[in-house]
Amino acid sequence: MQRIAVIDYGMGNLRSVAKALERVAPDDEVIVSGDAAVIASSDRIVCPGQGAARDCMAALHASGLGRTILDTVDTRPFLGICMGLQVLLDASEENGGVPCLGVVPGRVTRFAEPLLDADGTRLKVPHMGWSRVHQRAPHPLWHGIADGARCYFAHSYVCEPADAGLVVGSCDYGREFAVAIAYPGFFACQFHPEKSAADGLALLANFVGWDGR
């Protein structure tokens, strides 16, 4: 049995993430925790998050869990979800500019206004609902998930990693943007796998069995 820690820094949809993990890993221990020692002793780590960048980073710094993420993100399989992706970059332009954790070189920027589709129709911001995810590179977490599968999004800001080679998934919403990035040891996505029906559960199941390579 392995322990899967869901980081609790007060800003994530923790219950739905934990329940989804329990469903795909019934023989493992899924624990929601804000205790750095518990997180550091876990076999796998999930960092969810939602809300404004300033509030998320303030919560991470106040709790000391930002340091915990930096210490563990490349030491065992790590999954970032939504803001759990955005906080890994250098900075976000939200709230007038917010320094983030700097694990991944790059910035988080707001969707352009007005945001238009190919026909010139104005698109709503935030981007909320189901959109197709295009697999830009093979990855073990895509196993069993069709290219172009629909996943659930809720965000106004997008990640722009400095190294395009890190992008393993993208979406078209007014423009193409990164929705999944991967380094050795971690995978992070803008969409919510815990809200993305069977394909989201498949991604979580793949994470539970992933060796981090």
Active site residue 47: no
Catalytic pick from 47, 155, 171, 192? 192
Catalytic pick from 47, 56, 82, 159? 82
Active site residue 194: yes
Distance in angstroms (rounded) separating the CA atoms of residues 205 and 197: 12
Give every CB contact of residue 61 below 8 A, 6+ residues apart in sequence: none
Active site residue 93: no
Partnered with residue 116 across adjacent β-strands are 122
50 token code pair: 């939602």
Catalogue the active-site residues: 82, 192, 194
